[in-house]
Structure 1
Amino acid sequence: MASIFSFFTGSGFLDLGFEKAGFHTAAVNEFHGPFLDAYKHSRKVMSLDEPKFGHYHCSIEEFIDQGEHVEELKTQVAQLQSEREMVGFIGGPPCPDFSVGGKNKGHEGENGRLSRTYVDAIIQHKPDFFLFENVKGLWRTKRHREFYEQLKSDLRDAGYVLTDHLVNCIQYGAPQDRDRILMFGIKNEHVASQLDAQSLEAKCIPVELFNWEKPHMKFDRDEALKAPAWPTTAPFNESVESPMPEGVIRSLTIEHWFEENDVLNHPNADAFFKPKSDKFKLVEEGDTSKKSFKRLHRWRYSPTAAYGNNEVHLHPYEARRLSAAEALAIQSLPKEFELPATMTLSDKFKTIGNGVPYVAALGVANTIQDFLHRIR
């Protein structure tokens, strides 16, 4: 049995994947109150168990050094481990400071520092395993990569063996082009007997033992993103039907997920910003070339579902922006997942854009679950 402590929980998309993969949720931590309220609301609607140790509405900084909740967390981790449970920390620290299109302040930024704080929490409380999720800029940008490599070095020095991988969430079946860096680590003591000498020295988990891509990825990256049949653009025609082109991977299209989630009858169907101008009607279906006012194509996948910094995604064939229900579908959430009606539109779209696509979370959680069963 394995339990997770979730940090930077948001509205719980990553957690939901772990829950559906069979992990128990020990506790969740989220700094922004409306996101935590949404987490509680969705779990109640979906009849999921509440976290064993409850919800923490505070900064992750309260769990390190002499923070207010340090002793509580220490006791909770020790209790579960004494009951022979594997304990994991999961989290994706806020990423605008590492994003190519974001603030780019790196580890010195207000959000960037939280990646260090999360790693410090892992080192201080010593869970059996952890998952760290972030944007590809942390992996591909030289000065951010140096910081990332230092985090890895510190984790290895603290007794963890690691594996990391750059994935695109479309590979798990999410209908969007969304790159993420994932790092998994486990205490050396749990795997030392199963590692060869080279892996032990490098403190790396070999692919033969932990394979990010098999069996839970559904698509090859190039197969999904670069299939020649994907349509480009078409004139915007409001409420006009359009047949699916031949050769398209239907399960990766916007229209498939709109139908799958019955978005017009979803509780969040009417949650969208009202248009202030008719200019966006000139944007063709599938034209996502501009920084803002990108119109999605019904028979194609979406760009990264990021709805901040004036980035606006338009409905493929309606004269409006996406609804929260449609954005949740693009994030591949189950159709029974909903956000509270009292939540502001800004908070709804921010929490949706911040989240890990559910099918990617589920795929990663199943990969970790397979690995944990393999080493026991």
Structure 2
Amino acid sequence: MNSVIFSFFSGSGFLDLGFEKAGFDVVFVNEINKSFINAYEYSRQLMGHSIPKYGYHTGSIDDYLEERDECSLAESVKAEQASGKLVGFVGGPPCPDFSVGGKNKGQAGENGKLSQSYIDCIKKFEPDWFVFENVKGLWRTKKHREFYESLKSELSNAGYVLDNRLINSLEFGVAQDRDRIILFGIKKTKINSEAKFEWEKYMKYPNGVAFNFDWPGTNKFGETPTFPADFPEDLTIQYWFNKNEVETHPNAKAHFTPRAGLAKFLVIEEGDTSKKSYKRLHRYRYSPTAAYGNNEVHLHPYKARRLSAAEALAIQSLPKEFQFPQEMTLSAMFKTIGNGVPYLFSYGIASTIKDYLEM
């Protein structure tokens, strides 16, 4: 693989891990949240990944635009390109300002502005290709879509050819109903005229196929539901709990405990995800979007408690070897999990890009 990655808004590295599994070399990592980047370093070391060539950087992406950072991003990018490598920028700017269930402030919000900063960074440092990841609200909400289209126009005018798709994580075999935009861009000068970007090549359940199965409804809490026939077991919560051995995972006991007792945890049926706040997952169904903030509480399918970090990581399809440091706060754990791109989703996109670049 003759391509390297400069990673922005890296969180705890879920997106980057998928790209590394596909064969890319992550040489630069930027994340403003110190707790997240500490977890990134910790997990990488445990999993045997090397330290990025240009290191880990905590700070705002605006530091590079205004040249306030001691690292010369321009020099690093040019050095890799001079050595014959294709340089890719990969990032998903924080998205609550575009989320349907979030702040909805759009491009004027503090987080919304970071999408423009990322595009400005691409235009300034001119990677050979890039990935921009964000929530479906940027695609489906009229005022946000106008902003998204303006970003695409800027990139086109800067010499990039673009392709984008709204993708559900279920399409890549993740047990989670989670929509995300993926925008891929490549310099016109780097295009192979015979290459085609095949979005569905690595999708196991493309185009909504996963929603067509006869999924179970709800069961009274404490009852054992019947295992359904003729449906994809790999899209169920229980499959991933078993696969990741969540009961013995180092983060198995990392879960919030209720202040007001267990009463509410005992009456919500297994599989009842209809409420705005308390949602109990079903062991034989996929999870709703792994969002653990804004008073959204996801309950274990058959235990009277909230999900553990180990279980939430499994829902994000992370390898069982991935773990958080024990000193990391619960709030930080669940925030970075909810912000992260599912590992299998990332691996699928990365594999598609790899094939495209190698044609």
Whether these two folds match at TM > 0.5 is: yes
Counterpart of 2:165? Answer: 165
- Correspondent of 2:202 among 216, 233, 238: 216
Q: What secondary structure, in the 3-state scheme, does the structure 1 residue paired with 2:293 have? A: coil
Counterpart of 1:194? Answer: 193
User: Aligned-residue CA RMSD in angstroms?
Assistant: 1.1
- Correspondent of 1:341 among 305, 314, 326: 326
- Correspondent of 1:282 among 256, 267, 271: 267
Q: What secondary structure, in the 3-state scheme, does the structure 1 residue paired with 2:269 have? A: coil
Matches of 2:97 and 2:170, distance apart in 1: 24
Q: What secondary structure, in the 3-state scheme, does the structure 1 residue paired with 2:288 have? A: coil
- Correspondent of 2:284 among 290, 299, 307: 299
Matches of 1:147 and 1:223, distance apart in 2: 31
- Correspondent of 1:328 among 313, 321, 334: 313
Greater shift in the superposed pair: 359-368 or 59-68: 59-68
Matches of 1:154 and 1:65, distance apart in 2: 19
Letter in 1 for 2:328: M
Q: What secondary structure, in the 3-state scheme, does the structure 2 residue paired with 1:338 have? A: coil
Counterpart of 2:234? Answer: 251
Q: Deviations over 1:170-214 (max 9, x none)?
A: 1001000000000000010011x617xxxxxxxxxxxx710111x
* TM-score (normalised: structure 2): 0.97
Matches of 2:324 and 2:23, distance apart in 1: 23
The 8 Å contact of residues 4 and 25 in structure 1, kept in 2 or not, is answered as yes
The 8 Å contact of residues 236 and 284 in structure 1, kept in 2 or not, is answered as yes
Matches within 5 A, 1:22-37: 22-37=23-38
Q: Deviations over 1:88-144 (max 9, x none)?
A: 000000000000000000000000000000000000000000000000000011100
The 8 Å contact of residues 268 and 339 in structure 1, kept in 2 or not, is answered as yes
Letter in 2 for 1:210: F
Counterpart of 1:59? Answer: 60
Letter in 2 for 1:40: E
The 8 Å contact of residues 13 and 357 in structure 1, kept in 2 or not, is answered as yes
The 8 Å contact of residues 95 and 134 in structure 1, kept in 2 or not, is answered as yes
- 1:222, distance to aligned residue in structure 2 (A): 2.3
The 8 Å contact of residues 171 and 208 in structure 2, kept in 1 or not, is answered as no
For the pair 1:260 / 2:243, whether they are aligned, the reply is yes
Q: Matched residue pairs, number?
A: 356
Matches of 1:246 and 1:31, distance apart in 2: 46
- 1:241, distance to aligned residue in structure 2 (A): 4.2
Q: Deviations over 1:298-328 (max 9, x none)?
A: 0000000010001000000001000000000
Matches of 1:109 and 1:312, distance apart in 2: 25
Q: % of aligned pairs identical?
A: 58
Matches of 1:330 and 1:155, distance apart in 2: 34
* TM-score (normalised: structure 1): 0.93
Matches of 2:85 and 2:29, distance apart in 1: 18
Q: What secondary structure, in the 3-state scheme, does the structure 1 residue paired with 2:29 have? A: strand
Seen in structure 2, the aligned counterparts of structure 1 residues 270 and 295 have a Cα distance that, compared at 3 Å, is same
Matches of 1:96 and 1:306, distance apart in 2: 11
The 8 Å contact of residues 248 and 299 in structure 1, kept in 2 or not, is answered as no
The 8 Å contact of residues 236 and 317 in structure 1, kept in 2 or not, is answered as yes
Counterpart of 1:95? Answer: 95
Matches of 2:117 and 2:358, distance apart in 1: 29
What runs of 5+ residues in structure 1 fail to find an aligned partner? 196-207
Matches of 1:357 and 1:236, distance apart in 2: 28
The 8 Å contact of residues 160 and 188 in structure 1, kept in 2 or not, is answered as yes
Matches of 1:226 and 1:348, distance apart in 2: 33
- 1:41, distance to aligned residue in structure 2 (A): 0.4
Q: Deviations over 1:43-100 (max 9, x none)?
A: 011011110100001011111133325x610000000000000000000000000000
Matches of 1:232 and 1:221, distance apart in 2: 22
The 8 Å contact of residues 170 and 221 in structure 1, kept in 2 or not, is answered as no
Matches of 2:42 and 2:31, distance apart in 1: 14
Counterpart of 1:6? Answer: 7
Q: What secondary structure, in the 3-state scheme, does the structure 2 residue paired with 1:66 have? A: coil
Matches of 2:243 and 2:118, distance apart in 1: 36
Flag as ranges the 4+ runs of structure 1 deviating above 4 A: none
